[in-house]
Amino acid sequence: MKFSQTFIPTLREVPADAVIASHRLMFRSGMIRKLANGLFAYLPLGLRSFRKLEQIIREEMNAIGSLEIKPPVVVPAELWQESGRWDAYGDALLRVKNRLGADFVVSPTAEEAFTSLVRDELSSYRQLPLSLYQINTKYRDEIRPRYGVMRGREFVMKDAYSFHTGDASLDEHYQAMGRAYRRIFNRCGLSVISVQADSGAMGGSGSEEFMVESEIGDNTLIFCKNCDYAANVEKAGCKPDFSPRMDALARSAAAGTPPLSKIDTPEVRTIEELCAFLKTGAETFIKTLIYRAVNVELDLSAAPGCSGLKKERPAPGAPEVYPEVFFAAAIRGDLDVNETKLAAVLKASEVNLAADSDVERLTGAPVGFAGPVGLSRIPVLIDHSVTAMNDAFTGALEKDRHYQHAAYGRDFGAWLIADIRTVRAGDRCPLCGGELYEKKGNELGHIFKLGLKYSKPMKLSYLDEKGESHTPLMGCYGIGVDRVLASIIEEHHDDNGIIWPMTTAPYQVVVIPIKYEGAVKDAADTLCAELEKEGVEVLLDDRNERPGVKFNDADLMGIPLRAVIGEKNLSGGSPRVEIKARAAKENRLVELARAALDLAGQVRQELEILNGASS
C-alpha cells in the first residue's frame, strides 16, 4: 500500500484531552478521530490493527468451540424487563423508542439477547453444552468517557455466553475461556494479571477479571507478598487483624473493662470530630452505618425487626427476595465498609446508605449517633474487626451522646458477623496471612459463572434423558477490543511513538525511499513487490516529504520493521538497504537482493514467538 493512496492523517500536536500515551498516540498516528465525547472513528490505519486483534480473539474463541453469531445491537425492551435489568441497569442503558413508541435498548451487554435466542431453540440436553459469541458494538452511556477508546460510550466487545446441564460442564468451559483469554493476551504481547472478582448478588459462583497494571486504572487490586492471592478490592478478603492496641485490649477483655457509660459529645458526629474531642484514635470507635438493601435474598425470618417482612418474586421464575430491608453495619472506626462485599453477604442486588430520615426513624437519633448497643429495630451486622473490641466508644442512639467502654459480647452482640471491610495495603492475606499490597489496574476482560441468574427469570429450559425439565446454567465472558488495543499501546511505546508487537501491527514493514524517484523508486517498488509476494504487509512511504518527516511518522505509527532506500547505498557494486527494527537503536545494511527474504524472515519469527507463546 502506498502512503499517498491511503488516509493516514498524522499530527504533531496532541489534543488537550489526551492525557494518556495510547490516546495521544492513536490520535497523532492517525489511527482514530473523535466524533463526539466517547464516540470514536477508526481510520484505515487504526482499523487494520483493530481487525487483527478481532481476528486473534476470534481464532481463540473458535479453538475452544465457541461459535460466532451476529445478533442485533438494538434489542426490544421486553427482554430486559424479563431479566429485571430494564429497571436495574441504571442510566448507562441507552433506551430508545421506535416510530410506534415501542421501547428498545442499545445493547451495553447481551445476556438477554443470547438467552432469548437460545430459549427459542433449546429443547434437549443433547444440544448442550452450547457456547456462542459475537464481536459487536456495545453502547454504554458512561458518565465520564475518558482516556480515548479505553472508556468510550460506543465500543466493541467480544462477548460469549455458554449454556450447560451441570456445574462440571460450566466449570470446564469457564476454565477453557480463562486459558483462551491468557492466550489472547500473550499473542498481543500484553502482561495481564488475573484476579478474583465480585460475582454479584444472585446465583453467580465464580468470576475472574483480567487486568493490566496501570496508573490510571479504575480498579484497586490486592496482592499477597507471600502467596499468589490476587483479587479486586471489591472482592478481596482478609484475615481479621488485631492491631497491637486491640490485642492488648482483647487480652484484658471484658474482665478489665469498666462498665458501659454514656458521655456527652455535643455537636460531634464524625469520627474525625470525635477523635479530636476525645483525643484518641479512630481505631477506638465502633462506626455504625445504616444501609438500605434492595432485593435481599438472605433468609431474615429470625432477624431482629424483620418478622413482618414479606418476600416477593421480582419476576416470574426469579428467586424470592425482600424488596427493601434496612441493616446496621458496624466496623472499627479506622476501617471502611466495602459495599460490594456487604451486598454479597446479604445477597442483595444493591446496598446504599439510608436516607437521614430513615436513620432517625430506625436509630431514634440524628445521623452520627448510631451504635450497636441497644439497637433492636434492625439487624446488626458486624465486621470481624468489631469482635476484637472490648473497650470502645460508640454512638448511644441519642443526640449528642456516645457510649464509652463498650465491649463486644458483654454490651452488644451481632445478628451476623462477616468480613465486610475494604481491604488495604498492610492487611493480612485471607489464604496465608502474608502481607497484602495494592496496585492500580485496568480491566480488559471478565469471565463469569452466571449460574441461573438469567436462565431462570427468562425461563430457559431443556428436557433431560428422562424427559424431565431443567433450567440450564450459564456463563458469560467479555473482552473489550478497543480497550485491549489501547492497552497494547500503553505497554509498547516510547517517546517517539507506538512500538507494535508484530501480531497487531497495522503494517509489518514500512519502506522509505529517501526520494521516490529514479533508481531509488525502482528499488523501493521492487522490494515492496517482493515483500508482498512473501505475504508481508508493507506500507511504501512514497510521499514527497523530507526523510526526517517520514522517519518520524514511521516511528509514530510504530511499524515494527523499517527499510530505508537511498541513493548512496544503492550505488557501487552491491546495492544495499538500511533495515531497522522499531525497537532497536542500530540499523543493519542488507543487500537489496536479500532484503525481502531477510525482512519476511523477521516478520515470521516474531509472529511465531508471539503466537507460539500462546500454546
Nearer to Mg ion, 85 or 446 (CB): 446
Distance CA 523, CA 44 (A): 26
Nearer to ligand ATP, 158 or 493 (CB): 158
Please enumerate in sequence order all residues whose Cβ is within 8 A of that of 319, keeping only pairs 6 or more positions apart, or say none.
202, 203, 297, 313, 456
Distance CA 91, CA 88 (A): 9
Query: How many residues in the chain?
Result: 615
Least distance between ligand ATP and beta carbon 199 (Å): 12
Q: Can you list the positions of beta strands (E) in 1-61?
A: 32-36, 39-42
- Residue 59 binding result from ligand ATP, Mg ion, none, given CB thresholds of 5 to 8 Å by partner type: none
- Residue 152 binding result from Mg ion, ligand ATP, none, given CB thresholds of 5 to 8 Å by partner type: ligand ATP
Q: Which of residues 432-451 bind ligand ATP (CB under 6 A)?
A: 443-446
Least distance between ligand ATP and beta carbon 497 (Å): 23
Q: Is 235 in the site for ligand ATP (CB under 6 A)?
A: no
Q: Can you list the positions of beta strands (E) in 375-489?
A: 380-383, 392-398, 401-406, 416-418, 436-451, 462-463, 469-470, 473-480
Q: Is 40 in the site for ligand ATP (CB under 6 A)?
A: no
Residue count at the site for Mg ion (CB under 5 A)? 1
Nine cell digits for residue 199: 460475582
Nearer to ligand ATP, 211 or 370 (CB): 211
Q: Is 483 in the site for ligand ATP (CB under 6 A)?
A: yes
Sign of torsion over alpha carbons 334, 339, 340, 343: positive
Q: Is 155 in the site for ligand ATP (CB under 6 A)?
A: yes
Nearer to ligand ATP, 109 or 257 (CB): 109
Q: Which stretch binds Mg ion (CB under 5 A): 61-69, 177-185, 323-331, 441-449?
A: 441-449
According to CB under 5 A, which one of 446, 453, 483, 576 is a site residue for Mg ion?
446
According to CB under 6 A, which one of 142, 398, 400, 537 is a site residue for ligand ATP?
142
- Residue 109 binding result from ligand ATP, Mg ion, none, given CB thresholds of 5 to 8 Å by partner type: ligand ATP
CA 535 to chain centre: 37
- Residue 482 binding result from ligand ATP, Mg ion, none, given CB thresholds of 5 to 8 Å by partner type: ligand ATP
Nearer to Mg ion, 384 or 446 (CB): 446
Please enumerate in sequence order all residues whose Cβ is within 8 A of that of 302, keeping only pairs 6 or more positions apart, or say none.
none
Torsion of CA 603, 554, 43, 608, to 10 degrees: 10
Least distance between ligand ATP and beta carbon 209 (Å): 7
Nine cell digits for residue 343: 451486598
Nearer to ligand ATP, 430 or 478 (CB): 478
Nearer to ligand ATP, 384 or 453 (CB): 453
Least distance between Mg ion and beta carbon 502 (Å): 29
CB-CB contact of 124 with 462 (8 Å) = yes
Nearer to ligand ATP, 82 or 443 (CB): 443
Least distance between Mg ion and beta carbon 33 (Å): 28
In terms of DSSP H, where are the helices of 191-338? Answer: 244-256, 271-278
According to CB under 6 A, which one of 23, 28, 140, 292 is a site residue for ligand ATP?
140
Least distance between Mg ion and beta carbon 443 (Å): 5
Q: Is 395 in the site for ligand ATP (CB under 6 A)?
A: no
Q: Tell me the backbone φ, ψ of residue 266, rounded to 5 degrees.
A: -60, 130
Nine cell digits for residue 287: 462506626
Output the DSSP codes for 40-53.
EEE-HHHHHHHHHH
Q: Which stretch binds Mg ion (CB under 5 A): 353-361, 440-448, 451-459, 555-563?
A: 440-448
Residue nearest to ligand ATP (CB): 480
Q: Can you list the positions of beta strands (E) in 281-391?
A: 285-296, 322-332, 350-353, 380-383
| Residue 27 burial by Cβ neighbours in a 10 Å radius (0-12, 13-18, 19+) | buried
Output the DSSP codes for 573-586.
SS-EEEEEETT-S-
Nearer to ligand ATP, 204 or 478 (CB): 478
CB-CB contact of 14 with 24 (8 Å) = yes
Q: Which stretch binds ligand ATP (CB under 6 A): 55-63, 254-262, 348-356, 473-481?
A: 473-481
Nearer to ligand ATP, 372 or 480 (CB): 480
According to CB under 6 A, which one of 237, 372, 472, 480 is a site residue for ligand ATP?
480
Nine cell digits for residue 608: 511465531
According to CB under 6 A, which one of 49, 66, 109, 265 is a site residue for ligand ATP?
109
Least distance between ligand ATP and beta carbon 454 (Å): 14
Least distance between ligand ATP and beta carbon 84 (Å): 17
Among 412, 374, 393, CA closest to 262: 393
Nearer to ligand ATP, 107 or 116 (CB): 107
According to CB under 6 A, which one of 157, 190, 293, 362 is a site residue for ligand ATP?
157
Q: Interface mask (CB under 6 A) for ligand ATP, residues 501-540, using x and -?
A: ----------------------------------------
Q: Is 475 in the site for ligand ATP (CB under 6 A)?
A: no
Q: Which stretch binds ligand ATP (CB under 6 A): 433-441, 458-466, 479-487, 497-505?
A: 479-487
Q: Cβ of 260: how many Cβ atoms within 10 Å?
A: 18
Distance CA 46, CA 8 (A): 9
Please enumerate in sequence order all residues whose Cβ is within 8 A of that of 29, keeping only pairs 6 or more positions apart, or say none.
8, 10, 45, 497, 498, 553, 556, 557, 558
Nine cell digits for residue 555: 516511528
Nearer to ligand ATP, 30 or 480 (CB): 480
Sign of torsion over alpha carbons 112, 114, 115, 119: positive
Q: Cβ of 21: how many Cβ atoms within 10 Å?
A: 21
Q: Is 189 in the site for ligand ATP (CB under 6 A)?
A: no
Q: Is 204 in the site for ligand ATP (CB under 6 A)?
A: no
Nearer to ligand ATP, 160 or 531 (CB): 160
Nearest-5° angle of CA 91, CA 93, CA 99? 115
Interaction site with Mg ion (CB under 5 A): 446
Query: Rule CB under 6 A: which residues touch ligand ATP?
Result: 109, 140, 142, 151-152, 155, 157, 218, 443-446, 478-480, 482-483
